[in-house]
Amino acid sequence: MSLSTSMPVRLAGCGKTFADGTRALEPLDLGIAGGETLVLLGPSGCGKTTTLRILAGLEAPDPGGRVLFGEAEVTHLPIEKRNVGMVFQSYALFPNMDVAGNVGYGLRVRRLPEAERRRRVAEVLEMMAISELAHRRIDQLSGGQRQRVALARALAVRPQVLLLDEPLTALDAALRERLRVEIDALLRRLGITAIYVTHDQSEAMALGDRIVVMDRGRVAQVGPPREIYFRPANRFVAEFIGTMNLLRGELRDGRLVLPGGALPLAGSEAADGAAGETEVLFRPEAARICASEAAALVGRVRSAQFLGDRTRLVLDGVARRTVIVEAPGRREFRDGEAVGLTIDPTDLIRLPD
């Protein structure tokens, strides 16, 4: 079913300064391709919600900023004229209307004939697999059902752009996972341009074609999930996304000399012939546990957390700070036990200076 147009969207020089002088958003240029799912990711106060609200038309950018839907400039159009679909963390369903009333509200406002309206409502309810809820009151719905109704309501008007503001944050973990998969499938199937705000990195990884990591009103990095995860552009992104270990030591003969041993670096870096203090990063899953004798680095188990499929180890003595690595779940570790680590040089991450 073709509910949508694949509308490209562009923000040009959109900053936001609030009345009290606080800068919520530094001037931002951002292009979103038609049909793309773009995730705005960052801690609270990073400007991701402000960006979404500027796209929606709920906030005006500072003078000079422009919002474009396709070729048309919509900077001065209020939200009700932008034809966007919006989904909120609090669901924001109208309690004085039943499910069908909520889903059909946008069509009623557009004065669609009754029959057409009913057909479209049934169509969207069917798509969201909630046809049987049509005549329920909102307070008779579970959280997951509410968010499905909210999605149906946003999609019923066939919006040019779908805007989602932390839509899964209010749900419990299992439901969040399930709805995330559903939303992902829905967005792919509809091919609608979607902007999705979240502070949850796994949500961002799973849903985004591209992720915009934001920090204190600035873009820290824009890129596909893999690039964000494996090639963070700076320390903020490296530390915000997933768990990252920092190794700081002396570079000598192509190896990084650390308290727990000497770690071989990749050829190109080793060949630099450079010496002196340097740092590399690695993800917990990049380290392989091996016998101490065969290991590049040796440390001691400070604590071991059994997570079922794997064991998360916090190690002392490898680097100046503790290091977190992952081991297969089958093997048991005792506190204080010596373990050896090897890390493939290609799994080491160097931040640009």
Specify which residues 223 forms β-bridges with.
211
The distance of closest approach from Cβ of residue 94 to other proteins in the complex, given in angstroms and rounded to an integer, is 6
Beta-carbon count within 10 A of 137 CB: 13
* Two tokens, residue 145: 């059902």
Among 78, 224, 267, 328, binds other proteins (CB under 8 A): 78
Toward other proteins, which CB reaches closer, 111 or 330? Answer: 111
CA atoms within 13 A on the CB side of 332: 1
The distance of closest approach from Cβ of residue 102 to other proteins in the complex, given in angstroms and rounded to an integer, is 9
Among 9, 41, 54, 56, binds other proteins (CB under 8 A): 56
Toward other proteins, which CB reaches closer, 171 or 247? Answer: 171
The distance of closest approach from Cβ of residue 128 to other proteins in the complex, given in angstroms and rounded to an integer, is 16
Toward other proteins, which CB reaches closer, 52 or 319? Answer: 52
Contact between residue 228 and residue 211 where contact means Cβ atoms under 8 Å apart: yes
Q: Of 35-43, 68-76, 147-155, 318-326, which part binds other proteins (CB under 8 A)?
A: 147-155
Per-residue binder mask for other proteins (CB under 8 A), 84-103, x = binder: xxx-xxx-xxxxx-------
Which residues are CB-contacts of 56 (< 8 A; sequence separation ≥ 6)?
79, 82, 84, 86, 163
Could you please report the per-residue DSSP string of 320-347?
Answer: SS-EEEEEETTS---TT-EEEEEE-GGG
Determine if 109 is a binding residue for other proteins (CB under 8 A).
Answer: yes
Angle at 120 between CA 117 and CA 123, to 5 degrees: 150
Determine if 58 is a binding residue for other proteins (CB under 8 A).
Answer: yes
Determine the Cα–Cα distance for residues 75 and 69; give it in Å rounded to an integer: 9
Determine the Cα–Cα distance for residues 1 and 91; give it in Å rounded to an integer: 24
Toward other proteins, which CB reaches closer, 109 or 185? Answer: 109
Contact between residue 319 and residue 259 where contact means Cβ atoms under 8 Å apart: yes
Determine if 106 is a binding residue for other proteins (CB under 8 A).
Answer: yes
Interaction site with other proteins (CB under 8 A): 56, 58, 78-86, 88-90, 92-96, 105-106, 109-110, 150, 153-154, 157, 163
